[in-house]
Chain A
């Protein structure tokens, strides 16, 4: 398959691994921001090819994982409202809120529908004018432009039965939060390639200089990730901290101006609570005041405002999400916490670090060894 196979070559991967062994002289801890990258690392065993002095820790880049409990509770409440249709991406349905998840809401008679795009929700609003159709807008800057296009279309078509429960979040403030944490051990970042296809990487220069960390915009295939790590380690070994772009085939410095313009027309930056991380200033997107008619919180009431924490006492997903521990270090991992009975969101979403470790059998390796 073109544009995939050439990035999964075993020979090239071995060559990169050898090059990394050659250049690494100190211990380095590098965080990949995006859950898609975490997934690829564990699936292909990329971390196993690295020299022992390089540790990969997994970042907060799983939108499902960081969506605050208060918004999930709100979505469940909306789903139970008469005449409401709650549209959501599939992997949001099993994420536990404070007492239950959207699957349970559906089982109890709530109208919850899985969609692949906010445009599908828009179609439902067109076809069912009697229903109040709410799209649960989850995701980073990658999915925000499509949400923006949907709400702007709804305004143009005067689809007043369509609204958004907005949970969109921004990556750069989360990276700053990780670096500012007292237990931070991250020395370099692989930035999320797909977020940068939209946003470019102008926002990262100030972070790299302020915290003295190299940031490499990186793709998602095994060779992308190995090359990203190689570029990052080269900087670390030289003692420099700049922004580089490994994912040049998809990312331009300025990103995608059309998509950014759409976002600007629909959203403003707001403070947002992140599940497991707490409140982060200016880390979320909210609807512009002139679009408040399409804000589900205007129609169904505001979500609770308190800062969220993780669900269960024995769940350490907050530490996992900021790279302080690895999923397998959590005492609940694979025991009390499994994808069938998740304690925290990183075990639910396919992009979550805990789910990736579980799915690719890291919980069963001790018995193997």
Chain B
């Protein structure tokens, strides 16, 4: 149940950028000719090669996995600014984000596609670092890039680099896929860790806000934890990763299936720097983005086992039960820090920094 370790941030292997003649991406690198071929062979294949990518097709034929007849499929696009932030970068985000979406279907992620939209003028060294990060993230999550596509757009048409990844995973036979419709009154809501670190880390990097102890994104693959839960035989009624919109939005989306969910504010872990930043900026950490957190809604009898299983992972050591499902209308309520209960609604619009 141990995880693969990744090199620390900023780790740059000694090997130099393999496209020495071009310090920046040009339109010709997406033109289909020799420059594009060089880019693919010397950068992408060099770092990402595997049996599927080795087929050198625009598509890949993936062999079946015995005992897992059903396929889960997802896609997501990544447009983060800045491209590198404490705890991650757009490359690792593009891998883990899609891996996590598959994991929330209780699927074992196996292969991703990689679509890159590059802005003319993007530094080749930056692209090299991003592809290295993609390769490292794939190794950590145990997935491969099966096929890809590269486009270059004119300078000013995109913000450096946009990435799309689609992914497939296999669902073990006999496993009932988790879904909001399966949540039952009495179920426990297990949260895998503290909230808000990704949103605050990116916001701080973007705005140049500094902390005494820097906030690192919680970006991480969740498939290890979910596989462990499946192996333990824990009945997973619902799984949801907490991305944009945070815990508050995720709970509301689940509740719309026709149940009341209630959480206890005092039980929700939020780190000191994140709480401080939210207090200052006027954000509610319950709605701030995460990239490596999820909730598992499980029968009350399985809650303790669920917490222990998630807690055995480094990224899950703060896992705990934060609430439960109760009979009622589609609604989320929260017991406030000082006792009274209130509705925890969907966030309206964007969180804007407030005046005073």
Q: Residues on A close to B: CB < 8 A?
A: 1, 4, 8-10, 13-14, 36, 42-46, 48-49, 63-64, 89-94, 114, 116, 138-140, 142-143, 194, 222, 338-340, 349-351, 358-362, 364-365, 367-368
Contact = CB atoms under 8 A, between A and B. Distances in A.
B336 interface: yes
A194 B279 contact: no
Contacts of A142: 356
A36 B356 contact: yes
Nearest to B339: A10
A143 B355 contact: yes
B345 A10 contact: no
B354 A90 contact: yes
B343 interface: yes
Interface of B: 260, 266, 272, 275-276, 279, 282, 328-329, 331, 333, 336-345, 348-349, 352-356
Nearest to A364: B343
Given A4-B275, A361-B343, A10 B338 contact: yes
A143 B338 CA distance: 30
Contact of A365 (B282, B343, B352): B343
B353 A194 contact: no
A46 B331 contact: no
A49 B338 contact: yes
B345 A45 contact: no
A91 B266 CA distance: 29
Which one of B260, B339, B356 has the greatest number of beta carbons of chain A within 10 Å?
Answer: B356
A10 B353 contact: no
A10 B276 CA distance: 20
Given A45-B341, A359-B348, A367 B276 contact: no
Contacts of B344: 361
Contacts of A368: 260, 328-329, 331, 333, 343
Contacts of A365: 343
A45 B279 contact: no
Given A44-B337, A94-B352, A222-B337, 16 more contacts: A1-B275, A10-B339, A43-B336, A44-B338, A44-B340, A45-B338, A89-B353, A89-B354, A91-B355, A139-B356, A338-B348, A358-B348, A362-B342, A364-B345, A365-B343, A368-B260
A143 B356 contact: yes
A49 B339 contact: yes
A166 B28 CA distance: 52
Contact of B338 (A63, A64, A222): A222
A91 B342 contact: no
Contact of A350 (B337, B340, B352): B352
16 contacts: A10-B338, A13-B339, A43-B342, A44-B336, A45-B341, A49-B339, A90-B352, A91-B353, A143-B355, A339-B348, A358-B345, A361-B333, A364-B345, A365-B343, A367-B331, A368-B260
B337 A340 contact: no
B348 A8 contact: no
A339 B343 contact: no
